[in-house]
Chains A and B, each alone.
Chain A
Amino acid sequence: MSRLKTKEEYEKTIGFKFRRWLYGEEDPYINKVEMVKQHHRHVEEKTITERMHEKQMHREYTYDVNRNKVLKTYSMLYRIASVVFVILIAALLVYNVSWLPKTGAAEKAVNNEVPQRYIENGLQETGAVNIVTGMILDYRAFDTLGESHVLFIATITVLILLRNNKKKATIAQISDRRFEPKNDSILQLGAKILVPVIFVFGIYVVLNGHISPGGGFSGGAIIGAGLILYVSAFGFEKTEKFFTERTYKVISFAALATYCIAKSYSFYTGANHIHSIIPLGQPGAILSSGLILILNICVGMVVACTMYTFYVMFRKGDF
């Protein structure tokens, strides 16, 4: 029959000491060893910079290409290996191409029932005379939505990367703006004649995307090119009246949101227009093919704004 020890007795046992040692509660030096007060080790400011400089020298010496033989051999080996790799890849790809079915042959694995369905039923199901447009904006509209977002995200990233700090604008940037319209009479006259034609052609290509070659991407790029020509002829002050960063954001967001809503409606109705109330119209007319015209306009607006914004950001750094 064991007896419970009192606390004082317990503290004298070996078990208690072992426990304290095990958990590290006891500092064996306290009250046993005379401690010397520690001094903060003082290092001169000069030696620190010297040492850092020495380190820098070492690094520069190590990575000096003319002295470091390992680096030299590595770069040579890299060149030889990449040439060999490129030749190997070319040989492999050409060898594979030689086993593919002949160019222009109709009996190929790619010509299966999918393009057959697109060609035979595309006009009835989408209302678009141009089957490619009907495909990318109706059957595969989800792809196109993702692509428009890729454009939007790329523009936003370029905006982040190339934005000037307005307070810290250097003299070169300011002078770049001040001297921007060079008042080149040939360029200005050419732009005066060409820009309206380019705009009209771009709008034509966008609006006729479903009945002739073209569509949102090409038409948007053409309009963007027209805007770039206008800017380079007349300077940024003229375009800033109607196109600012805010305009870009509003147009892009509105176009992408319209695209999303239109496509959501299409998916809601079963993605094959069973109960869709939007009429497909007469094939070949401008106002036909249901949602494709709206989607084309949206994509065209996004692409045009993107192209113009790329140019402005590269040229100037802000809107």
Chain B
Amino acid sequence: MGPNLIANYGEAIAMIMFAIGMGNLLLQKNLIKKIIGLNIMDSSVYLFLALKGYITGRKVPIVVDGIQEVTAYINPIPAGLVLTGIVVSVSVSALMLSLTIRLYKRYHTLDLDEISLRLRQEGL
């Protein structure tokens, strides 16, 4: 173990959340829960990025009173990246949910194992 585990508690929790989301994705049978798992993975990555850009004692990167020194503001790059990511994750989950609706219309179930079994039984 490295020296900074206690100081990096936020990142550690974000990584554990990533693992939980991955477990959801691998182990849950329900499609909607799989999508929620993917969303949790997304959020944990964003949290990790934002924590990497955070600097203690510094403020939001909005110029106030003409102060333009690096030592006054936090890193703006992770915030910009995460802003892009949040909106993309919404469109991704909307796409997955619409695919789920189509699958439900065809098979009348949300259980992915059952769907794949029936696919094999139909010989596809």
Contact = CB atoms under 8 A, between A and B. Distances in A.
Interface string A112-152: 00111011101100000111100110001001100100110
Contact of A94 (B16, B26, B69, B76): B16
Contact of A59 (B10, B73, B120): B120
A155 interface: yes
A98 interface: yes
Interface in B71-123: 71-73, 75-80, 83-84, 86-88, 90-92, 94-95, 97-99, 101-102, 113, 117, 120-123
Contacts of A111: 55, 70, 75
A130 B62 contact: yes
Interface of B, secondary structure class, is: helix
B88 A102 contact: no
Given A115-B76, A147-B84, A151-B91, A90 B98 contact: no
B60 interface: yes
Question: Which of B4, B22, B97 has most chain A Cβ within 10 Å?
Answer: B4
A77 to B, nearest CB: 13
Contacts, number: 184
B102 A161 contact: yes
Contacts of B7: 102-103
A186 interface: no
A193 B76 CA distance: 37
B2 A129 contact: no
Interface residues of B, number: 65
A252 to B, nearest CB: 13
Contact of B22 (A89, A102, A157, A306): A89
B62 A131 contact: yes
B105 to A, nearest CB: 10
Interface string B17-29: 0111011001100
Given A97-B8, A213-B62, A314-B98, A119 B83 contact: no
A32 B8 CA distance: 91
Given A94-B12, A118-B76, A87 B19 contact: yes
Interface of B: 1-5, 7-12, 15-16, 18-20, 22-23, 26-27, 51-58, 60-63, 68-73, 75-80, 83-84, 86-88, 90-92, 94-95, 97-99, 101-102, 113, 117, 120-123
6 contacts: A99-B4, A103-B11, A104-B55, A123-B68, A144-B84, A215-B83
Given A56-B121, A120-B69, A129-B63, 6 more contacts: A87-B19, A99-B4, A103-B11, A118-B77, A161-B98, A211-B62
Interface of A: 55-56, 59-60, 63, 65, 75, 79, 82-83, 85-87, 89-90, 93-95, 97-106, 108, 110-111, 114-116, 118-120, 122-123, 129-132, 135-136, 140, 143-144, 147, 150-151, 154-155, 157-158, 161-162, 211-213, 215, 217, 221, 283, 303, 306-307, 310, 313-314
